[in-house]
């Protein structure tokens, strides 16, 4: 019997290697409709959540930023505007389909000179120590197999004085919101996935992965254990989404 550690894939427990393969298959399947589904699933709110995240970067023109698991490039585009032509944003994703889609979108939007791309695993980022002024990861951490390793890897490559911003679905804090959110997640999202993306199973997994992700305080503790300091979080939309922030000194 294999002694490979187990990991959560939605509500299932699977071998680590199997989770990585199945997550890759999910995003291969949804890449072409990912942006449309984000708008439909959130009613466009994801754009406001990302805008709020970008307001916390502290970036200045000429600096270096890293967008981990950046998918189709929404956060990377905002980072590129902040750092200007003299700076550099690196957009990474472990999934080749998502990375290609993000690259095409950013090039079409005119981001050519100040954005580069790398297919990379968040747990083992292929960059030198103390490289970036700011790192963002938006709606990607919950799909990472070893979240602690990813948080430590991001800590390694950020400069002293730099920061990490984690935008992720979290746990509702408004009384009475939980049952409504559950009904939406497990009935509406899979239905949208089937009707719009032709893939009900992938969106059922995404709903399950949100429920298995650490809540606000648990993620805060994980960030501190990985070396991040002055950690805090901001609840958005009643805690359905949260932005966690940490610094490296």
**pLDDT digits 0-9 by tens, 177-233:** 999 999 999 999 899 889 887 889 988 998 999 999 999 999 999 999 999 999 999
Contacts with 88 (C-beta within 8 Å, 6 or more apart), sequence order: 64, 65, 114, 115, 116
- In the predicted model, is pLDDT for residue 25 greater than 90? no
Domain ranges across the chain? 27-174+204-247
- In the predicted model, is pLDDT for residue 2 greater than 60? no
Structure tokens at 3: 């002694």
Q: What is the pLDDT of residue 223?
A: 98
Mean pLDDT within 111-115: 96
Lowest mean pLDDT among 9-18, 54-63, 96-105, 156-165: 9-18
The model's pTM is 0.94
Contacts with 94 (C-beta within 8 Å, 6 or more apart), sequence order: 20, 24, 69, 119, 120, 121, 122
82 in Cβ contact with 54 (< 8 Å): yes
Q: Which residues pair with 14 in a beta bridge?
A: 7
Contacts with 12 (C-beta within 8 Å, 6 or more apart), sequence order: none
Please tell me the CATH code under which domain 27-174+204-247 is placed: 3.40.50.150
Indicate the pLDDT class of residue 1, thresholds 50, 70 and 90: very low
State the DSSP string of 178-229: HHHHHHIIIIIHHHHIIIIIS-HHHHHHHHHHHHHS--HHHHHHHHHHTT-E
Contacts with 103 (C-beta within 8 Å, 6 or more apart), sequence order: 73, 91, 117
């Amino acid at each position: 019997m294999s002694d490979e550690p187990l990991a959560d894939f939605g509500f299932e427990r699977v071998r680590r290697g199997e989770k990585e393969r199945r997550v890759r298959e999910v995003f291969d399947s949804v890449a072409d409709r990912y942006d449309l589904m984000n708008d439909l699933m959130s009613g466009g709110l994801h754009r406001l959540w990302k805008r709020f995240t970008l307001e916390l970067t502290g970036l200045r023109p000429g600096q270096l930023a890293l967008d981990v698991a950046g998918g189709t490039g929404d956060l990377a585009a905002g980072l590129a505007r902040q750092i200007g032509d003299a700076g550099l944003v690196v957009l990474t994703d472990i999934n080749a389909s998502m990375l290609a889609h993000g690259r095409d979108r950013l090039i079409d939007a005119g981001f050519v000179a100040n954005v580069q791309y790398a297919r990379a695993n968040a747990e083992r980022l292929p960059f030198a120590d103390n490289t970036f002024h700011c790192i963002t990861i938006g709606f990607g951490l919950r799909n990472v197999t070893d979240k602690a390793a990813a948080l430590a890897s991001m800590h390694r490559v950020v400069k002293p004085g730099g920061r990490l911003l984690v935008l992720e679905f979290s746990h509702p804090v408004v009384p009475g919101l939980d049952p409504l959110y559950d009904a939406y997640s497990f009935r509406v999202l899979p239905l949208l996935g089937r009707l719009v993306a032709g893939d009900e199973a992938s969106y059922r997994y995404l709903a399950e992965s949100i429920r298995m992700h650490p809540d606000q305080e648990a993620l805060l503790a994980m960030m501190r254990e990985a070396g991040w300091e002055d950690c805090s979080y901001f609840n958005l939309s009643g805690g359905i989404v949260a932005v966690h922030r940490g610094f490296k000194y």
